[in-house]
Structure 1
Amino acid sequence: MRKAGYFLLALLCGVIIYGSVVEPRYRLHEKPVEAELPGLPRGWDGRQIALLADFQIGMWAGNTGVIRDAVDRAIRDSVSLALIAGDFVYKPDSSRVRRAVDIIRPLVDAGIPTVAVLGNHDYSLAHNTPKRIDQYAAYLEARLEGIGATVLQNEATPVTAGDDSLWVVGVGSVWAELADVDMAMESLPEGAPRIWLMHNAEAFREIPAEQAHLAFAGHTHGGQVRLIPGRQNSWLDIVRKGEIIGHGWAADSLGAAPNRIYINRGIGFSTIPMRINCRPELTKITLRRSDDVVPTRGPDESDLMGS
């Protein structure tokens, strides 16, 4: 009986060491994804995008070394665009904001267009802190813009490759009550090829059909501790039932068909500094041109928004 107790104790210690040290700090998953996009300009066909999310800088036992590794890999592979899906910091202050900006600065210095949105933690919003604080979010945005990155909130911006432009549509934070899909689309030229970027995939539900053939988000951390390898389950499914906790390509039922969204597992932590069966992720998206017609904004857009 005592031997069994020792075995269980050793097993528990092994799981804790693996989940807090090995997997989150030494097993960055560089995940390749191919994505078709209607109307993709030929100059963008075959180009790679790096997607990063959820750095959570400032959480105890944070994971900044892996963030730097992900940035280095994106630079090494000469990606054509870097997307960052928010939650740069865990509990923002000026020091943590500066650290976050310094970590991604090499992307901009390498000449890689870098486009970001802010997440709930950037506004000091967590489950136990329901009041939004704008001060450090504004400071973070200013520092990012200051190094040459682009921060979007319900707006679109073009990114060029040669003579061809691809538009990135960025949506504001859902938890901060700043998400406005209608406003985001107002700055998008009719017929422009586009990809969407948001922190929380809840905003994806509001995008009209045919308008978001390719979207990206973070926020969920993939659940962080997945109970069974290879399945969409986690401890967050239990303690935060009803939230979107998935990762990878979301189910078609999440949004209006044929819209699609990919959810990145993130790099940092939330609540506990541990990852099990949910490695930190750097997504490498290779864009492919689709023969489908590029989406346009139809006259019934407002009706679609209400559906």
Structure 2
Amino acid sequence: MIFRVVLLCLFLLVLEIYTFQVFKTIIKNKSILYSIQIASVAFSIYIVYALMQFDRSVGQTQKTMFTMALLLLVYLPKIIFTIVLLGEDLYRLGVGTLNYFSNYDESKDFFNSRRKFVSQIGLGLAAVPFLSLIYGITVGKYNYKVIKQRIFFPDLPDAFDGFTITQISDVHSGSFDNPDKIQHAIDLINAQNSDLILFTGDIVNTHAKEMHPWIETFNKIDKHEYGKFSVLGNHDYGEYVTWKTEQEKEENFEDIKKLYGQIGFNLLLNEHTFIKKGNDQIALVGVENWGHNFKQAGDLDKASGSLQKQDFKILMSHDPSHWNKVVQHDKRHFQLTLSGHTHGMQFGIEIPGYFKWSLVQYVYEQWAGLYENVGRYVYVNRGFGFHAYPGRVGIMPEITVIELKKAPNVA
């Protein structure tokens, strides 16, 4: 433990030294230079203090999200400064060594002086994530996007050709701080006029009480002709805090399950129901959370009951690793799975229809948008809310509208 603390302190000290070097090379006014350094150290002290005060019995709060935002804003630029100047130092070391063993000029210092333009490059590079994070906090986290996806199925019942589904996921109501923005999102949901609405879990961060200020707002979601259904997400189980007693945890879990009903959604707990239209029907299957690295309460066999391969099935399963590890290989052939969970890490680069990238893709093979394997599809919603970092950069909050279409049978 002591060794780790020492390593962390050395790492932070190196970041501070290189950060100071960047500004020292560019800024000649000592008052400004030392003011920046004092502010930098003060922010670092606050961040360390706030992290040490984290209470696992409470979990995430507005204060912890502020601390996370500040940590990213302060340390991402410092890491970039360090990488750039460390690269320059390695170059200076190489040049000095070469000069020493070849045509050594005693009039020259072994290390050349720092070049101003290198520090300017470091400053410019660091400005990109810094300004992006500021944008994510002030604008991005409520920059809702309606993403429409049309999917073709040869075995779709005729009556459901053109049937529309709105999907929301990962609300994380305990993170919200702007009622007007949330109301705007609810208005966007209603404006889609879909036949059915599905909510694929994570209504809170941890505690049921987080949703209480928002129940009235979410109750404004229209009823939808074919219903409103939901499943649980990993955060709905209260797994990420320390509870005084197991009973307290269980009571919170029961209250969270009730929340879905309080906003008009029918919660499916390892069970299925049928959506009927005309003379046709499709099965809507809902499992509890099943995650490769998270709680595995989902029971696909129990939820499916007597459903057969020929039945057209839509599965709601919060974590897309369930589809990756289990569902896509299931012999019952689940035509469409709807998931969320990843948030697209709330940070990445996305050019719709052309390119998308996020660090989360190195953890989840299916992390945002539509994926297919032998006629089995999974759609991963990018999330409605935000968690930990109070913002979104590049990967915007999403309201999904899926249209089911009948594909022609190919002889």
Q: Would the TM-score normalized by the shorter structure come out above 0.5?
A: yes
1:92 aligns with 2:207: yes
**Distance (Å, rounded) in 2 between the aligned partners of 1:145 and 1:98:** 13
Q: What's the secondary structure of 2:259's corresponding residue?
A: helix
Q: Report the residue type matching 2:265 in the other structure.
A: A
1:119-138 alignment to 2 at 5 Å?
119-126=233-240, 133-138=249-254
Structure with the higher fraction of residues in helix conformation: 2
Q: Does 1:159 align with 2:272?
A: no
Q: What secondary structure sits across from 2:335 in the alignment?
A: coil
Aligned residues: 282
Distance (Å, rounded) in 1 between the aligned partners of 2:200 and 2:381:
9
Among 165, 184, 198, the alignment partner of 2:317 is: 198
SS of the counterpart of 1:125?
coil
The 3 A distance-change label for structure 1 pair 7 and 222 is: closer
User: What's the offset of the Cα at 1:134?
Assistant: 3.7
Distance of 2:125 and 2:407 partners within structure 1: 53
Verify the 8 A CA contact 1:89 1:100 in the aligned structure 2: no
Give the distance between the partners of 2:242 and 2:349, measured in 1 at CA: 27
Please state if 1:145 is matched with 2:261: yes
SS in 2 for 1:106: coil
One-letter amino acid matched to 2:339: A
Which whole-Å CA distance do the structure 1 matches of 2:396 and 2:263 have between them? Answer: 29
Provide closer, same or farther for how the CA distance between residues 108 and 232 of structure 1 changes in structure 2, counting only shifts above 3 A: same
Aligned to 2:60: none
2:314–2:334 CA contact under 8 A, matched in 1: yes
1:265–1:278 CA contact under 8 A, matched in 2: yes
1:216 to 326, 330, 338: 338
When structure 1 is superposed on structure 2, of 37-46 and 61-70 the one drifting more is 61-70
Distance 2:188 2:226 in 1: 12
- Tell whether 2:163 aligns with 1:50: no
- Residue type of the alignment partner of 1:180: D
| Structure 1 unpaired stretches of 5+ | 294-307
RMSD after superposition: 3.1
Match of 1:233 among 339, 357, 363: 357
Aligned match of 2:216 in 102, 121, 124? 102
- Superposed, 1:255-294 pairs within 5 Å as 257-291=374-408
Distance 1:10 1:225, change over 3 A: closer
Structure with max Cα Rg = 2
How far 1:14 sits from its partner (Å)?
2.3
- Give the share of equivalent positions with the same residue, in percent: 26
**Secondary structure class of the residue paired with 1:86:** coil
Helix, strand or coil for the counterpart of 1:58? helix
Superposed CA deviations along residues 214-240 of structure 1, whole A, max 9, x for unmatched, are 111000001211157664532445xxx
How many Å separate the matches in 2 of 1:73 and 1:228?
Answer: 21
- Which residue of structure 2 lines up, in the alignment, with residue 82 of structure 1? 197
Quick check: 1:172–1:179 contact (8 Å CA) kept in 2? Answer: yes
Deviates more, 1:100-109 or 1:69-78: 100-109
The one-letter amino acid of 1:124's match is G
What is the rounded CA distance, in whole Å, between the counterparts of 1:68 and 1:43 in structure 2?
33
Residue number in structure 2 paired with 1:36: 152
Q: Relative contact order, CA 8 A, sep 6+: which one is greater? A: 1
- Does 1:114 find its partner at 2:114? no
Q: Is the 8 A contact 1:220 1:244 kept in 2?
A: no
The answer for the alignment partner of 1:183 in structure 2 is 302
Matching residue's letter, 1:216: L
Distance of 1:99 and 1:188 partners within structure 2: 39
Matches of 1:142 and 1:85, distance apart in 2: 15
Question: Which secondary structure state, in structure 2, belongs to the residue aligned with residue 78 of structure 1?
Answer: coil
Q: Contact 2:321–2:366 (CA<8 Å) still a contact in 1?
A: no
Q: CA deviation at 1:43?
A: 2.6
- Report the Cα offset of residue 145 of structure 1: 2.7
- Alpha-carbon separation, structure 2, partners of 1:9 and 1:189: 55
Q: Which piece of structure 1 moves more, 206-215 or 78-87?
A: 206-215
TM-score by length of 1: 0.79
- Shift in alpha-carbon separation, 1:136–1:97, aligned structure 2, 3 A: farther
Say if 1:136 and 1:189 are closer, same or farther in 2 by CA, change over 3 A.
farther
Q: TM-score, normalised by structure 2?
A: 0.60
- Give the C-alpha shift of residue 167 in structure 1: 1.9
Q: Per-residue CA shift, 1:151-199, capped at 9, x if unaligned?
A: 1121111223455432211111123321111111115467432211111
Q: Does 1:2 align with 2:26?
A: yes
Shift of 1:146: 4.7
Alignment of 1:54-73 (within 5 A): 54-59=170-175, 62=177, 65-73=180-188
1:3-22 equivalent positions in 2, closer than 5 A? 4=120, 11=128, 13-22=130-139
Mapped partners of 2:286, 2:408: distance in 1? 25
Match of 1:297 in 2: none
Deviations 1:254-287 (A, max 9, x none): xxx3321010100211221121110111111111
Question: How far apart in 1 are the matches of 2:198 and 2:236?
Answer: 16
Q: Tell me the residue number matched to 2:369.
A: 248
CA contact under 8 A between 2:167 and 2:197: conserved in structure 1? yes
